[in-house]
Amino acid sequence: MNDNYIAGQWVAGPDTTLNINPSDTRDVVGEYSRASRAQAEDAIAAARHALPRWAAFTPQQRADALDAVGSEILARKVELGDLLAREEGKALPDALGEVLRAGQIFKFFAGEALRVPGEALASTRPGMNVAITREPVGVVGIITPWNFPLAIPAWKIAPALAYGNAVVFKPAELVPGCAWALAEIFSRVGLPAGTFNLVMGSGRELGQVILNDPRVDAITFTGSETTGRKVAQAAVGRPGAMARFQLEMGGKNPLVILDDADLSTAVECAVNGAFYATGQRCTASSRLVVTEGIHDRFVAAMVERMRALKVGDARHPATVIGPVVDANQLQQDLSYIALGKAEGAELVSGGEHRATIDGQPGHYLEPTLFTGTTNAMRINREEIFGPVASVIRARDADEALEIANDTAYGLSAGVCTTSLKMASLFQRHLQAGMVMVNAPTAGVDPHVPFGGRKASSHGPREQGRYAADFYTTVKTAYVNP
């Protein structure tokens, strides 16, 4: 049995979840404990209790613990990549890439534990000195989605611990395997009991306990916009001190392809951005905004390229596109495909659900491309979160930029062009937290800030040195010696 990890102990919950492989729904990855509300409260109490003991660790001890976690993740890359591919359905090369990234993130924040920034300034008052230091925020509640079962927990847990906070981690229901594997590694690196806690189970129950408990000082959340809003409401609606909160939510990311783009670069960026990881990335290129002069050549090359995308078991070496994560998500994707047709979009590739591949029952969906779409259609305004992309035709670069920015979201945006002038123009004017030039909108480095604008994000950036802004609180001290 794979139990919850609370106050340094493995704790069984009142019931369990079966973790099902979306590539073969007959395959049970494992049985995982679900925590009760009372156990989530125990985890919060344990984290509060651990805070002063974790704070007493030297920066070097904190760095060593995080470095040990990173080293073990990297050493077990193949095994953890296989687990990730099996429980989430991400094709093995992407799954291995995610494990690598998770390991690198722990290594990066091991270094950051030794470099907690501060400043010393002279005061405007004679003889006075000013010291600006960063202190831990306290107990951090970490609520994560299923689409990056290892990397997203890593980029929240690593900085939380590096800066001296204690953690209560509630992973998505669909992917307890990677979360449990991470907890098991943490159980062996010598943290004070309660510094890191894992509670598995429902967001509506356990997530809500974390949101409402005044002993949780900060909440970092990645997931849907609907749940993100609930997090915000709970954080500000608490009696007494409001919780600090940070939200990473959806995207409707544009990839602009201009007339002068290199065609094969554009097709590779679009295929990777739209369909890899089965399109289940908040940074996925779901709107392909293509100018007049290259439109027909681009669509023809895309359709040709998409034929070569092998859909299948995430762990099969030939697979490029794994299954959709579960039956609910598949249903959502299929209903958007039906909506696209009803809105008058032309389906030029894919769109078919395949109930079995190579005799295996799974949630398979052919990568899907619509053309003849307008930016006003719902398929171009709402996050589908599957292997579904639309081509939107634009008259010229100006109109393409306008369409790209005409969205409620602002996470990632890209442009394919061979013109330095156009690249610079789009880099400056795309309204997104991340801009990619001749690169897919998805796929980011582990050591630089991640996050968006508008409805995509709220609060400070994640990752890189910018993570300190969320996981520390600033103290300004005036000293008259």
Q: Among 87-95, 216-224, 369-377, 397-405, which window interacts with ligand TXE (CB under 6 A)? A: 216-224
Q: Does 329 bind ligand TXE (CB under 6 A)?
A: yes
Q: Does 385 bind ligand TXE (CB under 6 A)?
A: yes
Q: Closest separation between CB of residue 424 and ligand TXE, Å?
A: 29
Task: Give burial (CB, 10 Å; 0-12/13-18/19+) of 289.
Answer: buried
Nearer to ligand TXE, 3 or 383 (CB): 383
Q: How far is it, in rounded angstroms, from Cα 1 to Cα 201?
A: 15
Tokens 């909506």 sit at which residue?
339
Q: Does 417 bind ligand TXE (CB under 6 A)?
A: no
Decide: helix, strand or coil at residue 338: helix
Do 341 and 368 contact (CB within 8 A), yes or no?
no
Q: Does 155 bind ligand TXE (CB under 6 A)?
A: no
Do 221 and 227 contact (CB within 8 A), yes or no?
yes
Kindly write down the DSSP assignment for every residue of 118-133, as one continuous string. Answer: -EEEE-SSTT-EEEEE
Nearer to ligand TXE, 89 or 192 (CB): 89
Q: Closest separation between CB of residue 120 and ligand TXE, Å?
A: 40
Q: Closest separation between CB of residue 49 and ligand TXE, Å?
A: 23
Neighbours of 184 (CB within 10 A): 14
Q: Closest separation between CB of residue 234 and ligand TXE, Å?
A: 7
Contact with ligand TXE (CB under 6 A) among 43, 137, 162, 172: 172
Q: Closest separation between CB of residue 37 and ligand TXE, Å?
A: 12
Q: CA geometry: angle at 170 spanning 165 and 173, to 5°?
A: 165
Q: Does 383 bind ligand TXE (CB under 6 A)?
A: yes
Q: Does 207 bind ligand TXE (CB under 6 A)?
A: yes
Residue 271, both tokens: 């295929």
Contact with ligand TXE (CB under 6 A) among 54, 146, 186, 336: 146
Tokens 């093995």 sit at which residue?
92
Q: Among 244-252, 309-317, 342-350, 363-371, which window interacts with ligand TXE (CB under 6 A)? A: 244-252
Residue 119: active-site member: no
Q: Does 472 bind ligand TXE (CB under 6 A)?
A: no
For residue 438, the 8-state DSSP code is S
Do 253 and 390 contact (CB within 8 A), yes or no?
no
Q: How far is it, in rounded angstroms, from Cα 474 to Cα 463?
A: 18
Q: Closest separation between CB of residue 338 and ligand TXE, Å?
A: 16
Contact with ligand TXE (CB under 6 A) among 2, 4, 19, 147: 147
Contact with ligand TXE (CB under 6 A) among 115, 125, 188, 204: 204
For residue 385, the 8-state DSSP code is -
Residue 282: active-site member: yes
Nearer to ligand TXE, 250 or 464 (CB): 250
From 173, 248, 366, 383, active-site residue: 248
Q: Please report, to the nearest 10 degrees, the dihedral formed by the alpha carbons of residues 171, 89, 152, 380 taken in order.
A: -110
Contact with ligand TXE (CB under 6 A) among 42, 173, 217, 259: 173
Residues facing 453 on adjacent strands: 410
Residues with Cβ within 8 Å of 112's Cβ and at least 6 positions away in sequence, in order, are 159, 162, 163, 465, 467, 468
Q: Closest separation between CB of residue 262 and ligand TXE, Å?
A: 29
Q: Among 120-128, 165-173, 354-362, 439-447, which window interacts with ligand TXE (CB under 6 A)? A: 165-173
Q: Closest separation between CB of residue 385 and ligand TXE, Å?
A: 4
Site string for ligand TXE, 425-454 (x = CB under 6 A): ------------------------------
Residues with Cβ within 8 Å of 275's Cβ and at least 6 positions away in sequence, in order, are 306, 309, 320, 321, 367, 387, 389
Q: How far is it, in rounded angstroms, from Cα 356 to Cα 22?
A: 11
Sheet strands (E) in 358-419: 360-365, 368-373, 388-394, 409-410, 412-416
Q: Closest separation between CB of residue 159 and ligand TXE, Å?
A: 18
Do 433 and 412 contact (CB within 8 A), yes or no?
yes
Restricting to residues 263-322, which ones interact with ligand TXE according to CB under 6 A? Answer: 282
Nearer to ligand TXE, 192 or 203 (CB): 203
Q: How far is CA 70 from CA 195, 461, 463, in A?
A: 17, 22, 15
From 88, 98, 178, 282, active-site residue: 282
Q: Among 44-52, 65-73, 207-215, 397-405, which window interacts with ligand TXE (CB under 6 A)? A: 207-215
Total residues contacting ligand TXE (rule CB under 6 A)?
26
Interface residues toward ligand TXE, by CB under 6 A: 143-147, 170, 172-173, 203-204, 207-208, 211, 222-224, 227, 230, 249-251, 282, 329, 332, 383, 385
**Would you please indicate which residues are annotated as catalytic (active-site) residues?**
248, 282
